[in-house]
Amino acid sequence: MAYLGRDRILERKAELFYDSSFDLDSLRQSSYDLRLGEEFYIVGKKAPERLSAKQPYLTLQPGQFAILTCYEMLHLPNNVIGFITLRNRFKMQGLVNVSGFHVDPTFDGRLVFAVQNIGPSDVRLKYQDQTFTIFFADVDKGSGKRPDPPRTGILLTDVHQLGANSITLSKLKKDIDTVKTALLIYAPFAVALFIALIMNIVRSK
Protein backbone atom coordinates (compact mmCIF):
# COMPACT_ATOMS: atom_id res chain seq x y z
CA MET A 1 0.00 0.00 0.00
CA ALA A 2 1.51 3.33 -1.08
CA TYR A 3 0.30 6.71 0.15
CA LEU A 4 -0.34 9.44 -2.38
CA GLY A 5 1.95 12.46 -2.14
CA ARG A 6 1.08 16.06 -2.98
CA ASP A 7 1.79 15.75 -6.69
CA ARG A 8 -0.22 12.54 -7.11
CA ILE A 9 -3.16 13.95 -5.17
CA LEU A 10 -3.10 16.98 -7.42
CA GLU A 11 -2.87 14.81 -10.54
CA ARG A 12 -5.77 12.65 -9.41
CA LYS A 13 -7.94 15.35 -7.82
CA ALA A 14 -10.67 14.78 -10.43
CA GLU A 15 -10.84 11.14 -9.27
CA LEU A 16 -10.91 12.03 -5.58
CA PHE A 17 -12.97 15.23 -5.30
CA TYR A 18 -15.87 16.98 -6.87
CA ASP A 19 -13.96 19.84 -8.52
CA SER A 20 -15.98 22.65 -6.97
CA SER A 21 -15.01 21.58 -3.42
CA PHE A 22 -11.26 21.07 -3.91
CA ASP A 23 -9.06 23.75 -2.31
CA LEU A 24 -5.38 23.99 -3.29
CA ASP A 25 -4.54 25.74 0.00
CA SER A 26 -5.67 22.60 1.88
CA LEU A 27 -3.21 20.34 0.04
CA ARG A 28 -0.20 19.22 2.11
CA GLN A 29 2.93 17.16 1.37
CA SER A 30 1.13 13.83 1.59
CA SER A 31 -2.39 14.68 2.75
CA TYR A 32 -5.33 17.03 2.36
CA ASP A 33 -6.96 19.09 5.15
CA LEU A 34 -10.73 18.81 5.03
CA ARG A 35 -12.69 21.92 5.94
CA LEU A 36 -15.63 22.10 8.34
CA GLY A 37 -18.98 21.88 6.54
CA GLU A 38 -22.15 23.79 7.26
CA GLU A 39 -24.30 21.04 8.79
CA PHE A 40 -23.75 19.87 12.38
CA TYR A 41 -25.68 18.23 15.21
CA ILE A 42 -25.02 18.59 18.95
CA VAL A 43 -26.37 15.71 21.05
CA GLY A 44 -29.42 16.85 22.99
CA LYS A 45 -30.63 19.30 20.34
CA LYS A 46 -33.90 18.66 18.51
CA ALA A 47 -32.41 18.65 15.02
CA PRO A 48 -29.22 19.32 13.02
CA GLU A 49 -28.26 22.97 12.56
CA ARG A 50 -26.25 24.88 9.96
CA LEU A 51 -23.27 27.20 10.00
CA SER A 52 -22.93 30.05 7.54
CA ALA A 53 -20.71 32.99 6.68
CA LYS A 54 -22.84 35.14 9.00
CA GLN A 55 -22.89 32.56 11.82
CA PRO A 56 -19.62 30.65 11.33
CA TYR A 57 -18.78 29.55 14.89
CA LEU A 58 -19.60 26.33 16.73
CA THR A 59 -18.75 25.78 20.42
CA LEU A 60 -18.50 22.34 22.04
CA GLN A 61 -18.53 22.32 25.83
CA PRO A 62 -16.48 19.79 27.83
CA GLY A 63 -18.09 16.35 27.56
CA GLN A 64 -20.31 17.26 24.63
CA PHE A 65 -20.83 14.96 21.63
CA ALA A 66 -21.47 16.29 18.13
CA ILE A 67 -21.79 15.16 14.54
CA LEU A 68 -19.82 17.27 12.06
CA THR A 69 -19.65 17.32 8.28
CA CYS A 70 -16.81 18.26 5.97
CA TYR A 71 -17.14 20.90 3.28
CA GLU A 72 -15.51 18.82 0.55
CA MET A 73 -17.40 16.27 -1.54
CA LEU A 74 -15.38 13.11 -2.24
CA HIS A 75 -15.82 10.37 -4.82
CA LEU A 76 -13.06 7.82 -4.36
CA PRO A 77 -12.28 5.33 -7.12
CA ASN A 78 -12.35 1.63 -6.33
CA ASN A 79 -8.56 1.43 -6.00
CA VAL A 80 -8.05 4.22 -3.42
CA ILE A 81 -8.75 4.15 0.33
CA GLY A 82 -8.73 7.14 2.67
CA PHE A 83 -7.56 7.48 6.29
CA ILE A 84 -8.92 10.37 8.36
CA THR A 85 -7.93 12.12 11.58
CA LEU A 86 -8.51 15.39 13.39
CA ARG A 87 -5.91 18.10 12.95
CA ASN A 88 -3.46 18.20 15.84
CA ARG A 89 -4.45 21.66 17.12
CA PHE A 90 -7.96 20.35 17.88
CA LYS A 91 -6.66 17.12 19.42
CA MET A 92 -4.53 19.19 21.80
CA GLN A 93 -7.69 20.98 22.97
CA GLY A 94 -9.33 17.65 23.81
CA LEU A 95 -11.45 17.01 20.71
CA VAL A 96 -11.47 13.34 19.65
CA ASN A 97 -12.96 11.52 16.69
CA VAL A 98 -15.22 8.71 17.97
CA SER A 99 -16.38 7.50 14.55
CA GLY A 100 -14.50 5.61 11.84
CA PHE A 101 -10.92 6.31 10.83
CA HIS A 102 -11.00 5.19 7.19
CA VAL A 103 -12.95 5.95 4.02
CA ASP A 104 -13.82 2.95 1.85
CA PRO A 105 -12.98 2.81 -1.85
CA THR A 106 -15.96 4.00 -3.98
CA PHE A 107 -17.17 6.31 -1.18
CA ASP A 108 -19.22 9.07 -2.74
CA GLY A 109 -20.35 12.24 -0.99
CA ARG A 110 -19.67 14.29 2.12
CA LEU A 111 -17.91 12.75 5.11
CA VAL A 112 -19.63 12.79 8.50
CA PHE A 113 -17.70 12.64 11.78
CA ALA A 114 -18.79 11.94 15.36
CA VAL A 115 -16.64 13.83 17.87
CA GLN A 116 -16.47 14.45 21.61
CA ASN A 117 -14.81 17.20 23.61
CA ILE A 118 -12.96 15.35 26.41
CA GLY A 119 -10.91 18.42 27.36
CA PRO A 120 -11.45 20.82 30.30
CA SER A 121 -12.39 23.83 28.16
CA ASP A 122 -14.73 24.76 25.32
CA VAL A 123 -13.58 23.87 21.81
CA ARG A 124 -14.48 26.41 19.14
CA LEU A 125 -14.74 25.48 15.47
CA LYS A 126 -15.28 27.71 12.45
CA TYR A 127 -17.12 27.09 9.20
CA GLN A 128 -14.74 26.17 6.35
CA ASP A 129 -11.70 26.08 8.65
CA GLN A 130 -9.31 23.18 8.03
CA THR A 131 -10.44 20.75 10.72
CA PHE A 132 -9.73 17.17 9.59
CA THR A 133 -6.94 15.54 7.59
CA ILE A 134 -7.31 12.76 5.03
CA PHE A 135 -4.53 10.55 3.65
CA PHE A 136 -5.05 8.64 0.40
CA ALA A 137 -3.50 5.25 -0.38
CA ASP A 138 -3.62 2.89 -3.35
CA VAL A 139 -5.39 -0.45 -2.98
CA ASP A 140 -3.82 -3.38 -4.89
CA LYS A 141 -7.03 -4.94 -6.18
CA GLY A 142 -9.91 -2.53 -6.29
CA SER A 143 -13.48 -3.74 -6.19
CA GLY A 144 -16.90 -2.53 -5.23
CA LYS A 145 -19.63 -0.47 -6.76
CA ARG A 146 -20.16 3.24 -6.18
CA PRO A 147 -23.21 3.89 -3.95
CA ASP A 148 -26.11 5.84 -5.37
CA PRO A 149 -27.01 8.60 -4.61
CA PRO A 150 -24.01 10.45 -3.06
CA ARG A 151 -24.15 11.13 0.68
CA THR A 152 -24.77 14.84 1.23
CA GLY A 153 -25.06 15.27 5.00
CA ILE A 154 -26.29 14.02 8.38
CA LEU A 155 -28.83 11.19 8.35
CA LEU A 156 -31.49 10.35 10.94
CA THR A 157 -29.58 7.15 11.75
CA ASP A 158 -26.50 9.24 12.67
CA VAL A 159 -28.54 11.17 15.22
CA HIS A 160 -30.08 7.99 16.70
CA GLN A 161 -26.71 6.26 17.09
CA LEU A 162 -25.37 8.97 19.41
CA GLY A 163 -28.36 8.61 21.73
CA ALA A 164 -29.89 11.14 24.11
CA ASN A 165 -28.49 14.13 26.02
CA SER A 166 -24.78 14.15 26.79
CA ILE A 167 -23.72 15.02 30.33
CA THR A 168 -21.27 17.90 30.15
CA LEU A 169 -18.97 19.14 32.92
CA SER A 170 -20.71 22.50 32.93
CA LYS A 171 -24.09 20.78 33.33
CA LEU A 172 -22.77 18.68 36.22
CA LYS A 173 -21.36 21.81 37.88
CA LYS A 174 -24.71 23.56 37.49
CA ASP A 175 -26.54 20.61 39.08
CA ILE A 176 -24.04 20.50 41.97
CA ASP A 177 -24.41 24.26 42.52
CA THR A 178 -28.20 23.83 42.62
CA VAL A 179 -27.89 21.14 45.29
CA LYS A 180 -25.44 23.27 47.30
CA THR A 181 -27.82 26.24 47.17
CA ALA A 182 -30.72 24.07 48.31
CA LEU A 183 -28.64 22.74 51.22
CA LEU A 184 -27.65 26.26 52.29
CA ILE A 185 -31.29 27.36 52.29
CA TYR A 186 -32.97 24.35 53.88
CA ALA A 187 -30.24 22.85 56.10
CA PRO A 188 -30.66 25.42 58.94
CA PHE A 189 -34.41 24.74 59.04
CA ALA A 190 -33.81 21.00 59.18
CA VAL A 191 -31.27 21.39 62.01
CA ALA A 192 -33.60 23.68 63.96
CA LEU A 193 -36.48 21.23 63.51
CA PHE A 194 -34.29 18.34 64.66
CA ILE A 195 -33.18 20.27 67.77
CA ALA A 196 -36.77 21.21 68.58
CA LEU A 197 -37.82 17.57 68.26
CA ILE A 198 -35.05 16.44 70.64
CA MET A 199 -36.02 19.17 73.15
CA ASN A 200 -39.66 18.05 73.09
CA ILE A 201 -38.63 14.44 73.70
CA VAL A 202 -36.43 15.49 76.65
CA ARG A 203 -39.20 17.63 78.18
CA SER A 204 -41.76 14.86 77.87
CA LYS A 205 -39.55 12.65 80.04
Superfamily holding 6-161: Deoxyuridine triphosphatase (dUTPase) (2.70.40.10)
Per-residue pLDDT 10s for the chain (205 aa) are 789 999 999 999 999 999 788 999 999 999 999 999 999 999 988 889 999 999 999 999 999 999 999 999 999 999 999 999 999 999 999 999 998 899 999 999 999 999 999 999 999 999 999 999 999 999 987 666 666 678 888 888 888 776 655 555 555 455 566 666 766 676 676 767 777 777 777 777 6
Q: Model's pTM, two decimal places?
A: 0.77
3-state secondary structure the chain: CCECCHHHHHHCHHHHECHHHCCHHHECCCCEEEEEEEEEEECCCCCCEECCCCCCEEEECCCCEEEEEECCCEECCCCEEEEEEECHHHHCCCEEECCCCEECCCCEECCEEEEEECCCCCEEEECCCEEEEEEEEECCCCCCCCCCCCECCCCHHHHHHCCCCCCCHHHHHHHHHHHHHHHHHHHHHHHHHHHHHHHHHHHHC
Domain boundaries, the chain: 6-161, 168-205
